Amino acid sequence: MSTWKVDMLTIFPEMFLGPLGLSIAGKALERGLWTFEATDIREFASDRHKTVDDTPCGGGPGMVMRADVIDSALSSISEIGDRPVVYLTPRGKTFDQQMAKDFADGPGIVFVCGRYEGIDERFLDMHKPHQVSLGDFVLSGGEPAAIAIIDSCIRLIPGILGDIESLSEESFERGLLEYPHYTRPQVWRGRSVPEVLLSGHHKKISAWRREQSERLTRDHRPDLWSAYIAQQ
């Protein structure tokens, strides 16, 4: 299996290896299970001020990132191959666990991180990137969203998580939220671990966890619950 490869087009290349250099992602990076390369879009600006944006045509607030500069940055990426080019934008398709699986099953991702009012539409028309959103809210740029997407994908790559079975029990894997978890001490501030979890009866434990997953989904995510019921 080839190494999962990430390229990041951004005006803040130093923003990533802090969070991505720690925990599961960081250890996997050290082991060579995935690679990361950040490309500074400013390096492809043609003026001495390294300008990557300009005022919007037709007037209006804010600035727009220039198509020619971002196009030059994207053209510098070697061996894009079958990797999807992903542009983070509020108008994109909402990212979910299935999309994370699809990305993780592929060779990697090339991210284009916008700032300001976004990217000149002509760049999007030419390259037709996958437009992806984390949800109905606005961030200052695509970088935080890219970090979240990378983290969610990396943990799905074979060999990165020690216990691969834990993935099958997570939220969204069966259309349900994950069941509650408990650990020691057995009694804490008058609250006890449910007796069934201490019984050693695996069939009863499995049934309890399924019931709790259904309860949590019904109570906290009625949208997921409706979709789950429709599939039964």
Residue 182, phi then psi, degrees to nearest 5: -140, 155
Q: At residue 17, does pLDDT exceed 90?
A: no
Two tokens, residue 227: 């979709």
> What mean pLDDT is predicted for residues 170-182?
86
pLDDT value of position 170: 67
CATH assignment, 4-154: 3.40.1280.10
**0.85 cut: is pTM over it?**
yes
Q: At residue 214, does pLDDT exceed 80?
A: yes
- Element at 112 (helix H, strand E): strand 108-112
What is the percent of the chain with per-residue pLDDT over 90, rounded to a whole number? 89
**Where along the chain do the CATH 3.40.1280.10 domains lie?**
4-154
pLDDT value of position 165: 60
Residues 134 and 81: beta-carbon distance below 8 Å: no
What DSSP assignment string belongs to 37-59? EEEEGGGG-SSTT---EEPPTT-
Residues 164 and 158: beta-carbon distance below 8 Å: yes
The 10s digit of each residue's pLDDT in 128-160 is 999 999 999 999 999 999 999 999 999 999 888
**Where along the chain do the CATH 1.10.1270.20 domains lie?**
170-231
CATH assignment, 170-231: 1.10.1270.20
